Chain A
């Protein structure tokens, strides 16, 4: 375990807790991910993953992964969880097959997860803006040690492309913050609202 993870309550966060005493101690982390509407001949909803990276690119938190959880007409055994993105025998063409296409997510954390991942994975989503709300200390959002982080969002689409966008942020935030980034094709607007 990294030393920084051991010091969950540093003087700075203590000070903040004191400052906001009487309100709540859990900071809010609100994410808006836009799945763009694409005018293409063959459209499949994108696989999308969101996670938080430390400065050294290690993963501080796995927030979400949207993929094809169930495959139409697949046998029940094909829906069983498995490590390394594995689909059990006879189900090699299941929804986990395309998880490695989210290359950075796969490299940094995906390949170590057992899918489906409790509280993280869910089905692919339609075009539109999807809001995800997290509070610090409440799974899957950990008590982050104070420092610099990056929110990473990666999308990969069958018959389409791949896109990775990031929003750097400081934790904990001194005041409420609204951060934004814009995808160019596979992702639309990305927003991050942090409330101390």
Chain B
């Protein structure tokens, strides 16, 4: 009986993990993105087969980072995790643009043993050098150790926008909006640039999905590619929340024993009617 319980607990822990299953998309849904100083926003966070659908799992909030317009960190309030979504509130006490990010960093190893796929660390656990040395055979077949760096972000502006919280860090894949990230309007072309380690990321595929998938007969994802300067533009057709995501896999891992790297950046933005 005890074993069964442990297995159940493990199964639940696995089910609660975001990003682990690549088939599911992580999303943030802010209540508003354009506000006056002092107002609150509430943000839902989850993972599901398509963005904004509250039908799969809540997002874990352990790696939630809210950056204020002056670059300082703000503690979110009323954080809670339900079955289908997590949620938290942020009061916008400063004038400017806030960045709300879920930043995941980690290393994982995959290999084969007697034709069976193995992986380390187990889902929900952190990678350690000791654990890696203990669990992964020195002569593991088809060993692939991958470093992952993923960011899921959204933004809200109180008063006049600024870009202090949006400054790229120069590490991994990052999105730079070429107009205010909270000044997106139907009928106005918006321009963005993807940077990889601070340099323009050319030929990166970008997937864009509008909210309301449940009320369409197909997802109608928009697939774009960044140009030689890492730039792409979107002419919004309808107002609402949009999920934009891109990822790059390369061999520029920074932490041994990882050799491969996967870096992904997903932004949720709000498009308004003019």
Contacts and interface: CB of A to CB of B under 8 A. Distances in A.
A, B: real partners = yes
B34 A87 contact: no
Interface residues of B, number: 17
Contact of B37 (A86, A106, A107): A86
Interface in A65-93: 82-89, 91-92
Report the contact-size class of chain A (Cβ under 8 Å from the partner). Answer: 20 to 34
Given A83-B159, A84-B158, A111-B160, A96 B36 contact: yes
Contacts of B158: 84-86
Interface in B88-128: 91, 93, 95
Dominant secondary structure at the B interface: loop
Contacts of B273: 103
A89 B38 contact: yes
A100 interface: yes
B34 A85 contact: no
A87 B35 CA distance: 11
Contacts of B35: 100
B62 to A, nearest CB: 28
Nearest to B95: A84
Contacts of A107: 34, 183
Interface string A146-175: 000000000000000000100000000000
A99 interface: yes
Given A89-B38, A103-B274, A107-B183, 10 more contacts: A82-B37, A83-B95, A84-B158, A86-B95, A86-B159, A89-B93, A97-B36, A103-B272, A103-B273, A112-B159
12 contacts: A82-B38, A84-B159, A86-B38, A86-B95, A87-B38, A92-B39, A100-B35, A103-B272, A107-B183, A111-B159, A112-B160, A164-B274
Interface of B: 34-40, 91, 93, 95, 158-160, 183, 272-274
